[in-house]
Amino acid sequence: MAERIAIVGVGQTHHKSKRPDVTTAEMIAESVERCLEDAGLQMKDVDHLVGGSFEVADGYHCPDKWIIPELGAVGKAGLELQNVGTTGGVLAVASFNIAATGLFDTVLCYSWQKMDEAAGAFGRGGGGANEYWTGQFPMSPITNFARRTYAYMDRSGCTEEHIAMVRVKQDQCALKNPYAQLRLGLTVEQVMSDVLLAWPIRRLHMCPTTAGAAAFIVCPEERAKKVTDKPVWVEDWFTCHQGGALTMAEDPTSSTLRHACEVVYKRQNIKNPVKEIQAWEVYEPASPAELRWMEEVGICEDYTAWKLFEQDKVGIDKEVPFNPSGGVTATNPIGATPVVRLVEAALQVRGDAGEHQIPGKIERALATGYGGQGENVIMLLRKTL
C-alpha cells in the first residue's frame, strides 16, 4: 500500500424494522453523527465522502445528491458506489483505497438501507440475474439459501436441529448487542416450529428487512495517529465477485469466500487463521450459511462446522467467537450490512464492543460482505502495526 490506513471512528443506528420517525437522510445523519463523535471530529474535518445503499431496493435514483447536503457535506469531494448485496463492502474498500492514496486526509464512509419504505425483496431477487439464464429461475435469497442448505445437509450429515442451534446462537449474541434488530430469546424448538419458507429455510433463519445506517472514518497513518489513540489498522482488503455464475458453480454449497480468504491470508502470511484471527464478523444472509462460511474462512474442515455447534463451542466467550454482534440474521440494512460487520469488528479490536466484547486481546478481526450468489468482500483489521 502507498499509505498505511486506520479506522478512527465508527457509528451505527439502533437498527429497527421500521423507522417512521426519521427520513432516510436523518437516519444516515444519526450514524454519521455518532461516527464523528466517536472520532472526535466534525464534518468540516472530512475531505472525501463515499456513500451508498442498494438503491433499487429503496426505489430511488442517485440518493447521494440529496443526502450529501443533509450531512452538511456540500463542497466536498465524493461519490456513490453500489454493488447490490456487497454494496457496503465495496463502499468500505473504496474508502480504504481513497485513504491509502494519501491524497485525502479524512475519508467518511456512510451507508444505509431503509427497507420500511420499499419492497426490498423485489430488487434483491433480480440482483445480477441474467434474464436468459439465472433470471429464469425464481431465485431469491430465500430459495438460493434453501438450495445451498439442503445440499450442505445432504453432504455433511447436519440436521434441521443443528441449523436451529446456529440461529439460537445468533440470537444469544444479538441479545447482548443493543444495536441489533431481532433480539428474541429463542429456543431450538421455537426455531424448528417457525413458518417454513423454502425447506429447510424457516422465517427465523432468513435475514430480516431493516431500516438502519452505519458509517466509519478512515485516515492515512500520520493523520490517524493524531486523531485517535486507538486506531484500528486496516491490514488488507479484497473484493471477489464471480458474476452471478450460480449455475456454473461446481459445488452448490460454496461461494468465493474460500478463494478470497486464501488470497488475503497469503498476502498477510496468515497460516493458521483460527489462531491468528480472534474475532469474526462474517456476512451470513441466512443462519445456516454460517456453517459453510466457517469452513470456507478456515476455522474448521469441510462439512464439520455443525459439530462445533453440537459441542457448544461457538459463542462470544467460547472457543470460536463467530459473529458476536448477532450477525446478519439479526440485523440486515442491506447496503449498510457489510459496514455494520466492519464497525463491529473494529469495536472488537478496540475492546469497545461492550456486553458482546470477546474476552482477551483481539489482535486481528475479519469482516466480510456477501452478495448475490457468491460475491464476497474481505476486510482484515489489526490492533498493532
Q: Which residues bind another protein (CB under 8 A)?
A: 1-3, 23, 49, 52, 54-57, 59-62, 64-66, 68-69, 73-84, 90, 93-94, 96-103, 123-124, 126-131, 133, 135, 237-245, 256, 259, 372, 375
Min dist CB 355 to another protein, Å, is 35
| Residue 107 grid cell | 475519508
State which residue, 38 or 236, has the beta carbon closest to another protein.
236
- CA 51 – CA 32 distance, rounded (Å): 11
State which residue, 73 or 173, has the beta carbon closest to another protein.
73
Min dist CB 351 to another protein, Å, is 28
Q: Name the CA dihedral angle for 343, 345, 350, 354, rounded to a multiple of 10 degrees.
A: 80
State which residue, 50 or 305, has the beta carbon closest to another protein.
50
Residues 209 and 17: beta-carbon distance below 8 Å: yes
- CA 283 – CA 340 distance, rounded (Å): 10
State which residue, 55 or 290, has the beta carbon closest to another protein.
55
State which residue, 240 or 340, has the beta carbon closest to another protein.
240
- CA 82 – CA 255 distance, rounded (Å): 20
Which residue in this structure is represented by grid cell 469452513? 295
State which residue, 4 or 176, has the beta carbon closest to another protein.
4
Min dist CB 96 to another protein, Å, is 7
State which residue, 60 or 199, has the beta carbon closest to another protein.
60
Residues 122 and 268: beta-carbon distance below 8 Å: no
* Nearest alpha carbon to residue 35 among 117, 95, 114: 95
Min dist CB 337 to another protein, Å, is 16
Min dist CB 334 to another protein, Å, is 11
- CA 297 – CA 318 distance, rounded (Å): 18
Min dist CB 79 to another protein, Å, is 5
Please tell me whether residue 230 adopts helix, strand or coil conformation: coil
**Strands 196-198 and 201-202, bridge-based pairing:** antiparallel
Min dist CB 353 to another protein, Å, is 28
Please tell me whether residue 64 adopts helix, strand or coil conformation: helix
Which residue in this structure is represented by grid cell 462439512? 303
- CA 168 – CA 174 distance, rounded (Å): 10
- CA 291 – CA 338 distance, rounded (Å): 18
Min dist CB 299 to another protein, Å, is 21
Residues 182 and 171: beta-carbon distance below 8 Å: yes
Min dist CB 22 to another protein, Å, is 12
State which residue, 190 or 242, has the beta carbon closest to another protein.
242
State which residue, 102 or 252, has the beta carbon closest to another protein.
102
Residues 141 and 198: beta-carbon distance below 8 Å: no
- CA 55 – CA 42 distance, rounded (Å): 27
